[in-house]
Amino acid sequence: NIIFAATLDDYVNATLLITQMNKHEQLSKVQANSYKSKLTVGQACAALFNGDWYRARVLETGENRVRVQYIDWGNSGWCDSILEIRPLPNEYYKDPALCVKCILDGIPSNEKLSQEQTNNILGILVLDLKLEMTVLRIENGFPVVRLNLDERNLNNEILSIFSSSTNVIKQNAIVNFDSNKPDINLSEMHHVQLTTVDAQSECFHVLLMRDCLPTIMNILKDWNANKQPLTVQPKADTLICAQYDADNLWYRAWIESITENGCRVYFVDFGNEEIVSSDRISECPDILKTIPWQSVQIKLANIKLTDDERDTLLRDFESERLEMKIMQKNQDIYLVDLLQNGKSLADHILELRKKEQQITPKPTEV
């Protein structure tokens, strides 16, 4: 789901740069100076590609060869460290890279593609074709983008190629609930959204704002028209898709039990539960079966909340993008500090308690 893109002006400048570099006296000589010392990872250089010299950066070194990335185009490859690598002339250091690394919104990052699928995607992303690119947000320092060609949404066209993959698991594959729980680095800061108050005292469920979330939402947003009915009778401990009563949208769900009125399901990406009728469940698309659950159970550290206070936090912050700092993990519950714009939600509750104490009149002594 990674592409390298350039504005029209940068594309023209990158093309002109090739001509300039190949006329430069330090690079145009057949016998020119090469590096006298061993190249190091991260070092800038001039590297040969298809007979032309480009600005490059060393990614990896090997015996008599180095792997480089051509910084104005994004592609990478191996070069002979003597014949195909030369010092970069000083005047080519000052200009920034002429392409940008971007993430395609809604496209999975962990799927292996067949050669046929790769060719189909390259057929959509025609090189040298002017596309419209919209930056939707920034994640981990990289722009997440949508590509359009006139009325065509190219992200959706690429996603359909993934959806037809023959490499994903078959529909009858067994999905284990515990093994699909998300793997969370306890030392990192995570972006989350409050989704529901948990039945367990003091706990919430939060949605992890990860790269795979747009993939899930994009596939299921039109699921009412695209859904596939269950091929077998619903049974407990099965991953399906279920239509949520509050908004009539479709979400991944885990069947917890079968009831007289349908299935009791747990929405694995949001943490809430509901009984849904048989006409509001469907097969889960194969491409979504390999993505871990996006919901985790949390409790605010260093503060004990009442049920009313939990409801207040959900009401005030449900639509906010929060930062989650993990203090500790106790079985499946994460003890955390949630922050909005650097302010702790625990401090928000303490402020509300203080205001309530100021408003509440003291009892009159008799």
Same domain, yes or no: 88 and 124: no
Mapped to the 3 state alphabet, what secondary structure does 135-152 carry?
A: EEEEECCEEEEEEEECCE
Same domain, yes or no: 73 and 21: yes
Is residue 192, in this structure, part of any structural domain at all?
Answer: no
Same domain, yes or no: 159 and 112: yes
Q: How confident is the model at residue 366 (pLDDT cuts 50, 70, 90)?
A: low
Express as a percent the part of the chain with pLDDT over 70.
91
Answer with the one of 117, 133, 163 that is the final residue of a domain: 163
Q: Are 338 and 348 in contact (CB under 8 A)?
A: no
Is residue 75, in this structure, part of any structural domain at all?
Answer: yes
Same domain, yes or no: 40 and 117: no
The residue range of the domain holding 139 is 106-163
Same domain, yes or no: 110 and 87: no
Answer with the one of 69, 92, 115 that is the final residue of a domain: 92
Same domain, yes or no: 11 and 58: yes
> What are the respective helix, strand and coil percentages of the chain, to the nearest 5?
25, 35, 40
Is residue 27, in this structure, part of any structural domain at all?
Answer: yes
| Separation of alpha carbons 156 and 137, rounded Å | 18
**Structural domains of the chain, count:** 2
Is residue 206, in this structure, part of any structural domain at all?
Answer: no
What single-letter amino acid sits at 198?
Answer: D
Q: Averaged over 154-159, what is the pLDDT?
A: 83
Is residue 322, in this structure, part of any structural domain at all?
Answer: no
Closest residue by Cα to residue 72 from 59, 50, 53, 51 = 53
The gap from C-alpha 364 to its chain's centroid, in whole angstroms, comes to 58
Same domain, yes or no: 65 and 113: no
Q: Are 285 and 301 in contact (CB under 8 A)?
A: no
Output the domain CATH number for residue 47: 2.30.30.140
The terminus-to-terminus CA distance of the chain in angstroms comes to: 73
Distances (CA, A) of 261 to 70, 251, 271, 276, 278: 60, 19, 21, 7, 8
Considering the entire predicted model, what is its pTM? Answer: 0.54
Looking at residue 153, its pLDDT comes to 83
Question: For 295-344, how does the pLDDT look when each residue is reduced to its tens digit (9 = 90+)?
Answer: 999 999 989 999 999 999 999 999 899 999 999 998 889 999 999 999 99
Same domain, yes or no: 73 and 152: no
Answer with the one of 43, 68, 92 that is the final residue of a domain: 92
Is residue 234, in this structure, part of any structural domain at all?
Answer: no
**Main-chain dihedrals φ then ψ at residue 187, nearest 5 degrees:** -95, -5
CB atoms within 10 A of CB 14: 20
Is residue 272, in this structure, part of any structural domain at all?
Answer: no
Is residue 15, in this structure, part of any structural domain at all?
Answer: yes
Question: For 200-258, how does the pLDDT look when each residue is reduced to its tens digit (9 = 90+)?
Answer: 778 999 999 987 888 888 888 878 877 888 878 899 999 999 999 989 999 999 999 99
Closest residue by Cα to residue 111 from 181, 154, 159, 77 = 159
Closest residue by Cα to residue 49 from 83, 16, 11, 4 = 83
Of the listed ranges 6-15, 21-30, 320-329, the one predicted with least confidence: 21-30
